[in-house]
Structure 1
Amino acid sequence: MADSGSAPEYVKFIIASTSGMGATGICYPLDVVKFRMQVSGEMGKKADHTNTLQFLKSIFKNEGFLGFYGGLSASLLRQATYTGTQSNVYEKIFFREGRPPTVFQKLICGFVGGLAGGFVGVPSDVAMTRMAVDGRLPKEQRRNYTWVGNALIRIYKEEGFKALFRGTIPTITRAIIVNIAQFVTYSQTKIFLVSYGITGDTTPCHIISSLMATLVCTIAMLPPDIAKTRIQNMRVIDGKPEYRGILDVWVKLVQKEGVLSPWKGFTPMLIRGIPMGVVLMLMYETQFRLYRWFVIEE
């Protein structure tokens, strides 16, 4: 990652947040496909479709082009809070001693950053999940949130404050795994490439590091991600929730949908993760370079 130690905290937060928002704006349709795949086959129902292409065709046919952007406003809010917070916490610890940390220290930084960012982003994450999967429901069962503000207000009024933090444990678990996998893998790959003279600290180096981080991140984060999606989207009928927690989701998934079901949505997540990871890191690195050129070196 770029050496941002000389930038004020608010600049770091803005750059991390806008990088995440820019990447999300480009790649969000594949997020919608991932969400739809993850809730497909819930409660023993037959899966809607079997692969990414079928989901893409179905969404376009039934909901049109805008169907791929259901919940985008919530996703942007999530990036503005979640990404900025987790990156800033990570960076604050990362550079606090003025020298590169060890791998163990990076793991600790990733854990703390993911914990903080995951918690801050839960309400917008709940809204995003529900909005992204709403179009697959029969019209009479849809929640029909108009934008993220409407979703948050209605969730609070209709289900109470606790509902805004539904799925907190899997959301934080996912955030910790993503933070560790993304930032640690990215920084270690970048150090390896530069140290052994394979590349310099250039755009090709950033792209290769992003690709490695995306692959590791996708494999590691999908099990808690699907648990988060199902818990956040579940309905409580007669006071009884569909799932009791993250372990209950995994047990029911494996029993009813097979041992690979915790990795539902792997293909769209990986396809989405490659450009998103590259765009996010390139925007992040570029914005800090511009900041140093036009502000610090002015």
Structure 2
Amino acid sequence: MVGMKPSDTPPTLGVKLLSAGSAACIADLVTFPLDTAKVRLQIQGEKVASEATKGIRYRGVFGTISTMIRTEGPRSLYNGLVAGLQRQMCFASIRIGFYDNVKNFYSGGADTANIGIRIMAGCTTGAMAVSFAQPTDVVKVRFQAQVNLTGVARRYTGTMQAYKHIFNHEGIRGLWKGCLPNITRNALVNCTELVTYDLIKEAILRHNLLSDNLPCHFASAFGAGFVTTCIASPVDVVKTRYMNSPPGQYKSAINCAWTMATKEGPTAFYKGFVPSFLRLGSWNVVMFVSFEQLKRVMMVGKKKMEDKS
């Protein structure tokens, strides 16, 4: 199991769901500016800028962050945070919290699972999570792409207004826009992230390089972040472009990818790679470390309550 030693008592599903969602929210609070910079870099060059934004160019992750602070203020780095936290509570809790249970289901309860079983479990929980959390992801991306400048009309003024506006103008399909590329992206991310974390951690412990503590969790999470970014970046860029696009700009996610390839070339699929890696690497570190600690705290608290009763 992710984050558990063989001698440990496995945490309950409720503990895993709550700790996963809470840990993901902590990670989002720490890394959200990097995610916003990634979105701005990914959509750059997508459409003709308004007069107020024609002179703004984003160059690199830290250049993007400094440009946003200079032109829009520090708060712009946290555009869409509310939707981001909503997303993590229903998204991460499912894709991470259910992972061990689904892995055990596929393996028939065996003590160890091969890499095929782990990949299937990661893809399954990643796809399940998107099915529930897609509207929160659409709103988050659109807020992050929204430029807060005088003379530029704002698409949305608040999180709930955004959900209502998208539903009224684009229907239920608008809230689930980009669901297919997002399922693809998150199935890739989830199986790569969790399986790589699992395998790196098991290798570290098996070869006695580190004990099951903070340095081990840090190294495993950082390695998982790098591998995941390399594999998922192209799908992530298409997902961001498609979800942020106005109705009619692209016929489908496939059309979006084809337009990018023909007009901007293959490198367009790796736009924002550095902030994606910085964000995903740091997000993984904060999330997995928090996840491990929260699980242990909750299990200790649960055991104390059982002992008292």
Above 0.5 in TM-score?
yes
Return the alpha-carbon distance in structure 1 between the equivalents of residues 292 and 63 of structure 2: 36
Instruction: Confirm or deny: 8 A CA contact 1:181 1:217 kept in the other structure.
Output: yes
Return the alpha-carbon distance in structure 2 between the equivalents of residues 81 and 98 of structure 1: 28
Q: Which string of whole-angstrom CA distances, capped at 9 and with x for unpartnered residues, describes residues 36-81 of structure 1?
A: 0111001477993332233112211111110101000010000011
Given the alignment, which residue of 49, 65, 69 partners 2:58?
49
Q: Which string of whole-angstrom CA distances, capped at 9 and with x for unpartnered residues, describes residues 170-219 of structure 1?
A: 11111101101110000000011111111121211111100110001111
Which residue in the other structure is 1:127 paired with? 139
Given the alignment, which residue of 268, 272, 275 partners 1:268?
275
Instruction: Confirm or deny: 8 A CA contact 1:30 1:269 kept in the other structure.
Output: yes
- Give the letter for the 1:84 counterpart: S
Which residue in the other structure is 2:170 paired with? 159
Q: Which string of whole-angstrom CA distances, capped at 9 and with x for unpartnered residues, describes residues 244-287 of structure 1?
A: 22322222212222221101111111112222111100111001
Return the alpha-carbon distance in structure 1 between the equivalents of residues 298 and 46 of structure 2: 47
Identical-pair percentage? 26
Return the alpha-carbon distance in structure 2 between the equivalents of residues 164 and 137 of structure 1: 26
Structure 2 counterpart SS, 1:274: helix
Which residue in the other structure is 1:145 paired with? 157
1:196 paired to 2:203? no
Return the alpha-carbon distance in structure 2 between the equivalents of residues 225 and 162 of structure 1: 20
> Greater shift after overlay, 129-138 or 198-207?
129-138
1:23 paired to 2:27? yes
Instruction: Confirm or deny: 8 A CA contact 1:210 1:281 kept in the other structure.
Output: yes
Which residue in the other structure is 2:3 paired with? 2
- Give the letter for the 2:68 counterpart: I
Question: How far off its partner does 1:101 sit?
Answer: 1.1
Structure 1 counterpart SS, 2:146: helix
Structure 2 counterpart SS, 1:25: helix
Instruction: Confirm or deny: 8 A CA contact 2:71 2:149 kept in the other structure.
Output: no
1:115 paired to 2:123? no
Q: How does 1:78-97 map to 2 (within 5 A)?
A: 78-96=87-105, 97=109
> Greater shift after overlay, 108-117 or 83-92?
83-92
Instruction: Confirm or deny: 8 A CA contact 1:94 1:100 kept in the other structure.
Output: no
TM-score relative to the length of structure 1: 0.92
Instruction: Confirm or deny: 8 A CA contact 1:86 1:117 kept in the other structure.
Output: yes
Return the alpha-carbon distance in structure 1 between the equivalents of residues 62 and 168 of structure 2: 37
1:99 paired to 2:108? no
- Give the letter for the 2:63 counterpart: Q
Return the alpha-carbon distance in structure 2 between the equivalents of residues 257 and 55 of structure 1: 20
Return the alpha-carbon distance in structure 2 between the equivalents of residues 194 and 28 of structure 1: 31
Instruction: Confirm or deny: 8 A CA contact 1:23 1:276 kept in the other structure.
Output: yes
Instruction: Confirm or deny: 8 A CA contact 1:94 1:106 kept in the other structure.
Output: yes
Question: How far off its partner does 1:8 sit?
Answer: 3.0
> Greater shift after overlay, 90-99 or 213-222?
90-99
> Greater shift after overlay, 287-296 or 23-32?
287-296
Structure 2 counterpart SS, 1:260: helix
Structure 2 unaligned regions, length at least 5: none
Given the alignment, which residue of 242, 251, 258 partners 2:249?
242
1:13 paired to 2:13? no
Instruction: Confirm or deny: 8 A CA contact 1:119 1:171 kept in the other structure.
Output: no
Instruction: Confirm or deny: 8 A CA contact 2:20 2:291 kept in the other structure.
Output: yes
TM-score relative to the length of structure 2: 0.89
Instruction: Confirm or deny: 8 A CA contact 2:76 2:148 kept in the other structure.
Output: no
1:208 paired to 2:219? yes
Instruction: Confirm or deny: 8 A CA contact 2:15 2:299 kept in the other structure.
Output: no
Given the alignment, which residue of 54, 79, 82 partners 1:70?
79
Q: How many residues align?
A: 293
Return the alpha-carbon distance in structure 2 between the equivalents of residues 119 and 191 of structure 1: 30
Question: How far off its partner does 1:150 sit?
Answer: 2.1
- Give the letter for the 1:277 counterpart: N
- Give the letter for the 2:26 counterpart: G
Instruction: Confirm or deny: 8 A CA contact 2:15 2:295 kept in the other structure.
Output: no
Instruction: Confirm or deny: 8 A CA contact 2:122 2:190 kept in the other structure.
Output: yes
Question: How far off its partner does 1:10 sit?
Answer: 2.3
